[in-house]
Chain A
Amino acid sequence: MLPTDLLMFRVKAGLVQPRVLNPTPGNRQLTELLIQTFQSSLGRQRAQLEDELKLLEAGRSDYRVLRGLAHILATDHSEFETGSLTDPASVRSRVFELVQAHPPSRLRRGAVLAQVAATLGQTPEEIDRLLYADLPGEQLLTRFEPPEPEALLTRFNLAQAQGMLYRAYSLIITARRNEPARYKQLLKYTKLFGLMVTVEGDADTGFTLTMDGPTSLFGGTTRYGLALAKFLPALLHVTKWDLTAALKPRRDLAWVDPADEEWTFELTSEDGYVSHYPEPKEHDSALESGFEERFHKLGSPWRLEREVDLVPVPGGVIIPDFRLVHPDGRSVLLEIVGYWRPEYLIKKFELLRRSGRTDVIVAVSERLNLERAGVGVQDFGERVLFFKGVLDPKRVLALAEPLLAETGD
């Protein structure tokens, strides 16, 4: 991610467009030049590297592009260290100790440095250099892992898009039908970053996910902007969505129209941004992948889809593991519960009750102690299925047929 002053964007009719670097020969050349500059600075002072970068900047109107790229190289691909066996702090304390005998004066400088040098077995010039060798500017570039020029460009583009969200106070994602196993990951990330999600819609018309945080209720706050920015790379793993974010305008910039009340940032899954977060795993348990395998062996005319449906409930969302689609297009949802704690099951059934949906089958492993654990499921009747060991797809389909009839369009 980039600091605010390195963000580049245009605003057209309230719509924010972050800067995008395409892999043109010119841009590729620029990234290569920067990567080379870093590489040739290995073992040298950070200040020297910065001076060289300044030289590259000189006369360029797009110097902030260069700085942004350099920022990514310096923070994500480099390591800076003092690079000295003698601790500069101890040199300082030696020098300052010795200098106390007299009022400080530039005239006595040489003599003091020579005196310290003699006790430490070094030259006065070395002492001079060591004095503040631990300052950031004087630290040495000790490691540099060069990225591919194109990877650097995509990283830059993503960082610019993320930066647009720093000032976001709400974010709405319209999700179209998706590939498996992505929504769960998405919700995991929203939880991780302390965000709240409101889900509306259904599988046919598409879903709307509104994201903000607890205090957003009392008025637009940009407090969750950073969390939304960090969340964006996770969203990029989900296919088929459109994003709209409401932003607080940057009033500190001269070219910004002071009359602007709100800006909008829009993005879709087809805009070509690339995530650097690891890909989510397809299956979260062997139970589900086993079921999927057995289902396919069955050769049934039903189609099995994984985690494509969101079931909105007041104050939350359920993502059933499977959707069973009948050849005529109607469908039933299936949730498989492998290992469970009573509180978990109680909550799950409570959520299902609140959703008001009657087309969800819940398969629970081991019925033992269900009653004793205080999990009442009477009102779910046929829609609860208990199994031991493996879940037989035939049993599920047998349950699914009548549910189709009941929920029929």
Chain B
Amino acid sequence: MFLKVIQLGWKNVWRNPMRSAVVIIAVLLGTWAGIFLSGFFAGMAQGYLNNQFKLTVGHIEIVHPQFKDLYSPEYYIPNSDDVIRELSQLSYVQNISTESVTTGLAQSAHSNYGVTMHGIHADSNNAIADYIKEGTMPGQSDKRNPVLIGQKLAERLDIEIGSRMVLSFQDKNGEITGGAFRVAGIFDSFSDPYDEGNVFIGLENMNELLGLTNQVHNIQLELADFSQASQYASQLQNEYPNLQIQTWGKIAPELQYMYDMTDLMMYIVMVIIIIALIFSIINTMLMAVLERTRELGMLRAVGMNKPRVFSMIVSETLFLTMVGAPVGMLLSWITISYFGNVGIDLSAFSAGLSAYGFGTVIYPSLPNIYYLNITLMIAAAALLSALYPAWKSLQLNPVEAIRKFN
């Protein structure tokens, strides 16, 4: 019998097919746009984070506790070989990259610029390899003293592959040192400032000049799940109390902030869309109730009680929502999956984006938990927008409604 009331609700949805279709499509598009936009922003933010993780921070970074103060070469990681071997045993560590680091000056015949110098192993799987535009990594070059520099720096110093340049910096004792290098490769990453301010040379090359042997200053860990970084970092900190172990969020609070903000942004976008949907649903249902005053009066007169009338109107609203929302969700899941693979190429705007460190291709992505949360939000919104028209339908007085018959 309750089923009959709900069946009647379903049939009522189709008494004005055009109007219902408009609402259903609005819900569908709203759901789709909301979720897809969320996925787009999330993918954009995630892409940005991944870029930053790859080149600048890593998920967890291990340094000598005093290294970060002045980047003095003397503060290398003691027994780094042992530490690296132990770390590579850990199941949650996916990749380890190491380097010795210092800051100094890059000079060409034409100009000079302050840079960060990275000494990397010949067999290192450093992420910069992915961004090489011309030439090779320093480890693969047959030149003496090869260096890999960014496109921006090459322009600034007005040099190209094969050109000579001089890098000067302080060694571990604070003495000025340096050497002549030959450009073996040029990289072009997602970020112009990074390309301008970073150069890569062989670890042996660098350590020789710094007065070190095979020590490194910096170990970066890539985890299977970056959001777990703080938990693992504190575990590691207990095991290596003499090293400074920090998560990406600590090292780059702006990234943590961005990560938190995208979450919030996505929900704000969803809430705005849902509020718009609530209003359009309420508006439609109020119309549907008001134009049926006489019929509702008749139903109440012949013995349909208030809970049943209420349920009927609620079910009508829920049907309106529940057709569009799942289809919209499915559509957004399909489009996010598709573009998550193919990517959305924004190269038309890429000049602007890469100045801020964003990639030129956005891969939308949305963790499953968001689909669940959005489902719950839409269900709550549907219920909310169902209650008011249903309540309104109970306010009518059957006697008044029936008098309008005549």
* A and B bind: no
A interface, CB within 8 angstroms of B: none
